[in-house]
Amino acid sequence: EVQLVESGGGLVQPGGSLRLSCEVSGFTFSNYWMSWVRQAPGKGLEWVANIKQDGSEKYYVDSVKGRFTISRDNAKNSLYLQMNSLRADDTAIYYCARAMTTVTTWAYWGQGTLVTVSS
Amino acid sequence: DIQMTQSPSSLSASVGDRVTITCRASQSISSYLNWYQQKPGKAPELLISAASSLQSGVPSRFSGSGSGTDFTLTISSLQPEDFATYYCQESYSTPITFGQGTRLEIK
């Protein structure tokens, strides 16, 4: 059974940092592109970043470029999102998601972890 | 960036109704269009990929069509478990974008 479990969310002050993790099981992690998608409270879905199987390619939405870094550790079956210089509008549930054969079609999602940026 | 526009934003319908949700892309995306269902407090679930490919385990009352810029999601006969929010998403180019969502409510 495919499972994705996010962790690391919480309350952080504006300008602070947080590192999200997503531990996966039930599939060969190193074979798939992975992504982070977020959802602000009561709002729609927003793609944040994705990373190639070997980590050699990474892409970000403009609003997080230079502040967020996506990474992975294939030996640990884990995906990460390092978030720096956090702003109030980064407040959201952050989901990790696994691609299908198409890089940005997501058939598997974690349960999400809530990040709240507030003073 | 490609803009995805869904309509309607919300919809009230009854069990057994046939419902259609539309999604329009600001430029041609071929068939690079996915549909997701999201229930409150849950992660999205992929219903349809590549505009019309029904995912395994998804009931056959769901169907998708379209190509280029105009797409539709149809639910042929609404069931109680179908009341949720539906999102379209283009997988054509980065940044990947979603429609704003269509909230399907019980009439």
Q: CB A10: neighbour CB atoms within 10 A?
A: 11
Task: Decide if B87 and A44 are in contact by the 8 Å CB cutoff.
Answer: yes
Task: Decide if B98 and A100 are in contact by the 8 Å CB cutoff.
Answer: no
Q: Residue A102: its pLDDT value, please?
A: 80
How far A44 CA lies from chain B's nearest CA (Å)? Answer: 6
Q: Residue A77: its pLDDT value, please?
A: 98
Task: Decide if B96 and A102 are in contact by the 8 Å CB cutoff.
Answer: no
Task: Decide if A45 and B44 are in contact by the 8 Å CB cutoff.
Answer: yes
Paired tokens of A93: 């549930």
Give me the residues of B, 46-105, that contact A with CB < 8 A: 46, 49-50, 55, 87, 89, 91, 94-101
Q: How far apart are CA B27 and CA A15, in angstroms?
A: 37
pLDDT tens, residue order, chain A (119 aa): 999 999 999 999 999 999 999 999 999 999 999 999 999 999 999 999 999 999 999 999 999 999 999 999 999 999 999 999 999 999 999 999 999 878 889 999 999 999 999 99
Q: What average pLDDT does the structure give for chain B?
A: 97
The strand pair at A92-99 and A68-73 is best described as: unpaired
Residue type, B24: R
Asked if B100 and B8 count as a contact pair (C-beta separation under 8 A), the reply is no
Of B34, B97, B101, nearest to A105 by CB-CB distance is B34
Q: Residue A10: its pLDDT value, please?
A: 98
Task: Decide if B98 and A46 are in contact by the 8 Å CB cutoff.
Answer: yes
Q: How far apart are CA B35 and CA B18, in angstroms?
A: 17
Q: Residue A101: its pLDDT value, please?
A: 78
Q: How far apart are CA B13 and CA A89, in angstroms?
A: 34
Residue type, A93: I
Task: Decide if B55 and A107 are in contact by the 8 Å CB cutoff.
Answer: yes
Q: Residue B107: its pLDDT value, please?
A: 87
**Residues whose CB is less than 8 angstroms from the CB of residue B100 and which lie 6 or more positions away in sequence, other chains included:** A44, B4, B5, B6, B9
Q: Is A114 on the interface with B (CB under 8 A)?
A: no
Q: Tell me: the pLDDT tens digits for B75-103?
A: 999 999 999 999 999 999 999 999 999 99
Q: Is A103 on the interface with B (CB under 8 A)?
A: yes
Which residues from chain B sit within 8 angstroms of residue A103, using beta carbons?
Answer: 91
Paired tokens of B80: 């109680």
Cβ-Cβ contacts under 8 Å between A and B: the total is: 51
Helices (H), A2-44: none
Q: Is A68 on the interface with B (CB under 8 A)?
A: no
